[in-house]
Structure 1
Amino acid sequence: MKNTGFSGIALIHLAQSADEVPRILAKAVEAGGVIVKPATRTHWGIAGYFKDPDGHLFEVDFETTWVFNETHHLVVDELN
């Protein structure tokens, strides 16, 4: 039986661009995932959710305050 409710935790993938969010969600569907919330513009950027075949919830998110520097380390910019 697959989980249908919220498991209490969601994993997140931080995309490197807004255009990447719907592409990642589409790849998740190709791999057997189910879209829970399509890529949607938010006041901080763009985000969407999918569940994998085992029912784990993932958020795919891009926002300008969460960025990666040239060495791929996460930098939170509170000024944006």
Structure 2
Amino acid sequence: MKPSISIITIGVDELERAFAFYRALFEIADEQIGAGEDHVAFFFDDAFSFVLFPREQIAQTAGKDVAVPGTPGFVLSHKADSAEAVDAILDRVLVAGGSVITPGTQSEWGYSAYFEDTEGNVWELMASPPVN
């Protein structure tokens, strides 16, 4: 895997407060911001996004029951070329001594998986859905 960080997701305790802070800091146009019930995404270009996500949900993503000390405060996301590439990277993660948190799963946003390195850092692998 040649790492290409496509998204950085950070855990926050108060989504609205964090959104206000980063909105002011980034000076980004409204059309470059996407928000859902549980997150806010700042889209800087086609290759990079910065996402705010509740810390408790990052804990769940990392396979933890609650956000305890040692729970990652962020997730690095790598955009792969295809679902097959995501699965191939997961195979390499296991060979290298990491662990798969969530195997490759198809959703409306594409194909994604989560893994943990040998130090407990969480990565997301994702492939955009094919364009019809």
TM-score by length of 1: 0.70
More RCO (CA 8 Å, sep 6+): 1
Q: Which has the larger radius of gyration?
A: 2
Tell me how many residue pairs correspond in the alignment: 63
Q: Give 2:79's aligned residue.
A: 14
RMSD over aligned Cα atoms: 2.0
Post-superposition, which runs of at least 4 consecutive aligned residues in structure 1 deviate over 6 A? Answer: none
1:42 aligns with one of 101, 104, 107: 107
Q: How much has 1:10 moved relative to structure 2?
A: 0.6
Give the residue type in structure 1 aligned to 2:126: D
User: Could you list the runs of 5+ residues in structure 2 that have no partner in the other structure?
Assistant: 1-62, 65-70
Q: Is 1:53 aligned to 2:81, yes or no?
A: no
User: Could you list the runs of 5+ residues in structure 1 that have no partner in the other structure?
Assistant: 66-79
What percentage of residue pairs aligned between the two structures are identical?
Answer: 35
Q: Give 1:72's aligned residue.
A: none
Matched residues in 1 for 2:123 and 2:113: separation? Answer: 8
TM-score by length of 2: 0.44
Q: Which has the higher helix share?
A: 2
